[in-house]
Amino acid sequence: MTDRKKEIIATAATLFRKKGYTAVSMRSLAEEIGIRAASLYNHIESKQEILEHIILGVADRFTDGMRNIQSTTADPLEKIRRVILLHIEITLSDPEGMESLQNNWMYLEGKSMSVYKTSRNDYEEQLRRIVHAGIASGHLRSVNPELLIYSMLSTLRYLYIWYPRQEGIDPENLKEEMMLVILRGMGK
């Protein structure tokens, strides 16, 4: 990917976060970058292509992270810790991508929508397996596993909204405290 294409995608992600995907036109994107709208098409075919790069790029990071977590022999509680860290690290490194993942995925079309849904469902199924194993092994509370998963993911998925508004929170402290809050609710 060229540097210009990376710049276009990064600028679009920022605009999508500020204005929403539907409110951003190729013309407004070009103006933000400082080029003519027609020049964008030398690098990008469509706004849809930009959205695909953003959302599928973040989804791939989650898929790769989960694959790495599942490939270990760690116990379920340690795997949950690693999942929490994965979410926090992706959020801190790419809050614009996380925003698009949460709020703009429904604008994906065709094969990209199918790829995204498959990726999301596979990720959630892997997490479900970890939680079930944690309950079965006694590492996690014996409560409705879907409630545990929903609570955990709801907290982590919307960290991109909360964290930027906080001043002076060290990322390492955030990781420790988020793990404490989530794991105390899940653990025994």
pTM comes to: 0.91
Q: Are 93 and 27 within one domain?
A: no
Q: Are 73 and 108 within one domain?
A: yes
pLDDT of residue 165: 80
The pLDDT > 90 percentage for the chain reads 79
The strand pairing partners of 187, in sequence order, are 140
Please state, as a whole number, how many other Cβ atoms lie within 10 Å of the Cβ of residue 164. 12
Q: Are 12 and 25 within one domain?
A: yes
Q: Are 110 and 58 within one domain?
A: yes
Distance between CA atoms of 40 and 29, rounded to whole angstroms? Answer: 9
User: Count of residues for the chain?
Assistant: 188
Q: Are 106 and 55 within one domain?
A: yes
Backbone angles phi, psi at 101, to 5 degrees: -60, -40
- Band (pLDDT 50/70/90 cuts) for residue 187 is low
Q: Are 21 and 58 within one domain?
A: no
Task: Identify the weakest region by mean pLDDT among 45-54, 100-109, 118-127, 155-164.
Answer: 155-164
Distance between CA atoms of 70 and 181, rounded to whole angstroms? Answer: 23
Q: Are 68 and 54 within one domain?
A: yes
Q: Are 59 and 137 within one domain?
A: yes
Q: Are 154 and 115 within one domain?
A: yes
Which tokens in the block code for residue 135? 């309950």
Q: pLDDT digits over 100-118, tens only?
A: 999 999 999 999 999 999 9
Residue numbers of the domain that contains 24: 1-44
Which tokens in the block code for residue 147? 């409630």
| CATH code for position 162 | 1.10.357.10
Q: Are 106 and 141 within one domain?
A: yes
Distance between CA atoms of 179 and 76, rounded to whole angstroms? Answer: 14
Q: Are 6 and 68 within one domain?
A: no
Q: Are 161 and 106 within one domain?
A: yes
Structural domain count of the chain:
2
| CATH code for position 39 | 1.10.10.60
pLDDT at residue 163 tops 90: no
